[in-house]
């Protein structure tokens, strides 16, 4: 009799373990599907970055803002700018305005040169990279790096807006 009771308990235990494993597998599939959905949204955003570059006036203003931000971050007297080869005329157009912005905000003069040997990849979404002190200091202000930075910061908010508040999470910063 005792033997059968022990066997029955073992069967019940195995059943509970199997149910728990199946529940965990289902939860993991849901999490994976959610993560894939967020990743596909970010890929769509990356794809749409190319639309900004097509509008010259809009892109020119954006380049001016990106370069000014990077110059104010780097705060060096001699700076080399890397951009896509197709963007060189636009970058040359916005250079004086960027230098003026830095001078107004910091009171320092900046000597900026466009790197004639190294360009960003033609497949890059646009933007600029600034280098100082023979390449030891580098500020990447390309559209892709900006999107990646924003995406890292906003993924929790994106998840909440898509899937609702996580009931298991106790603290939200």
CATH numbers and ranges of domains, the chain: 1-162 (3.30.2320.30)
To the nearest whole number, what is the mean pLDDT of the chain?
87
pLDDT band at 171 (very low <50, low <70, confident <90, very high): low
3-state secondary structure of 130: strand
Name which of 68, 38, 12 is nearest 156 in CA terms. Answer: 38
pTM for the complete prediction?
0.72
Tens of pLDDT, residues 8-34: 899 999 999 999 999 999 999 988 998
Q: What is the pLDDT of residue 158?
A: 82
How far apart CA 49 and CA 148 sit, in angstroms, is: 12
In this structure, what are the phi and psi dihedrals at residue 116, rounded to the nearest 5 degrees? -80, -15
Mean pLDDT of 87-103: 91
pLDDT at position 173 over 60 = no
DSSP 90: H
DSSP 6: H
Q: What is the pLDDT of residue 3?
A: 83
pLDDT band at 172 (very low <50, low <70, confident <90, very high): low
3-state secondary structure of 125: coil
- In our burial notation (b when 16+ CB lie closer than 10 A, e otherwise), range 19-33 reads eeeeeeeeeeeeeee
Burial of 139 (0-12, 13-18, 19+ CB in 10 A): buried
Q: What is the pLDDT of residue 126?
A: 86
pLDDT at position 108 over 70 = yes
Name which of 100, 39, 91 is nearest 60 in CA terms. Answer: 91
Tokens of 165: 């508040």
How far apart CA 132 and CA 113 sit, in angstroms, is: 11
Burial of 114 (0-12, 13-18, 19+ CB in 10 A): middle
Tens of pLDDT, residues 36-89: 988 898 888 888 887 888 888 888 999 999 999 999 988 888 999 999 988 889
How far apart CA 82 and CA 157 sit, in angstroms, is: 33
């Amino acid at each position: 009799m005792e033997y059968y009771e022990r066997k029955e308990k073992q069967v019940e235990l195995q059943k509970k373990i199997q149910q728990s494993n199946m529940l965990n597998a289902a939860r993991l599939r849901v999490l994976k599907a959610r993560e894939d959905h967020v990743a596909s949204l970010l890929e769509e955003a990356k794809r749409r970055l190319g639309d900004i570059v097509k509008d010259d006036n809009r892109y020119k203003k954006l380049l001016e803002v990106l370069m000014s931000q990077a110059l104010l971050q780097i705060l060096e007297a001699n700076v080399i700018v890397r951009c896509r080869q197709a963007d060189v005329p636009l970058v040359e157009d916005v250079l004086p305005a960027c230098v003026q912005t830095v001078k107004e905000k910091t009171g320092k003069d900046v000597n900026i040169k466009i790197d004639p040997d190294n360009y960003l990849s033609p497949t890059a979404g646009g933007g600029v990279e600034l280098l100082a002190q023979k390449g030891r200091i580098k500020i990447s202000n390309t559209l892709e790096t900006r999107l990646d930075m924003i995406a890292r910061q906003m993924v929790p908010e994106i998840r909440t807006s898509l899937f609702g508040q996580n009931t298991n999470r106790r603290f939200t910063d």
